[in-house]
Amino acid sequence: MQRSIKVRPPDTILVTANDHGRLTGLARASLDRLPDIAEELLSEMDRATVAASGALPDSVVCMGSTVTTRNGDGAEQRMTLVYPAEADIAAQRISVLTPLGTALIGAEVGQCVHWTTRDGREMALDIVAVEPPRADRSAGEARA
């Protein structure tokens, strides 16, 4: 089977204006506690193309999106990208302040995200589906 997944070029990231502002603030506030991941998130926000909230395609990962990924072995996994206060690994709620979370923000269906784990392993996942944030989650995430 031929794969149509492509590696995300370093200049391709799309975020909403709201996510951009909140994530930039979160990264700056986390520089003392989590310098490596905060700097990576700031780097992502620096290169991001900012779109109005209603203009972001449903195929792009934003805060609150539920993402279906596939690893190199073909195993699929669903996870939701959240702010740190809502993270719960058992419920597959991944904080944006993790290497995987930072890699996911702004990615799009059909792209492959790459990141380095905190223990130095190189990882990659293909984005196969994105579900936009549910309305009932957005109020809680806005307070995070």
* Domains parsed from the chain with CATH numbers: 6-133 (3.10.50.30)
Q: What is residue 63's predicted lDDT score, i.e. its pLDDT?
A: 95
Residues 83 and 139: beta-carbon distance below 8 Å: no
Distance CA 115, CA 122 (A): 6
Q: Using an 8 Å Cβ cutoff, are 13 and 44 in contact? A: yes
Q: How confident is the model at residue 78 (pLDDT cuts 50, 70, 90)?
A: very high
Total number of residues shown for the chain: 144
Rg of the chain on CA atoms, in Å: 14
Say how far apart CA 139 and CA 134 lie, in whole Å: 10
Q: What is the pLDDT of residues 102-143, one digit of tens each?
A: 999 999 999 999 999 888 899 999 999 999 997 654 434 443
Whether residue 26 contacts residue 41, with contact meaning beta carbons closer than 8 Å, is answered with yes
Q: Would you state the pLDDT for residue 13?
A: 84
Rounded average pLDDT over 17-40 = 95
pLDDT in tens, 43-55: 999 999 999 878 8
Specify the pLDDT at position 140: 41
Q: How far apart are CA 144 and CA 76, in angstroms?
A: 28
Q: What is the mean pLDDT of the chain?
A: 86
Q: Count of CB atoms within 10 A of residue 142's CB?
A: 12
Helix (H, G, I), strand (E, B) or coil at 91: helix
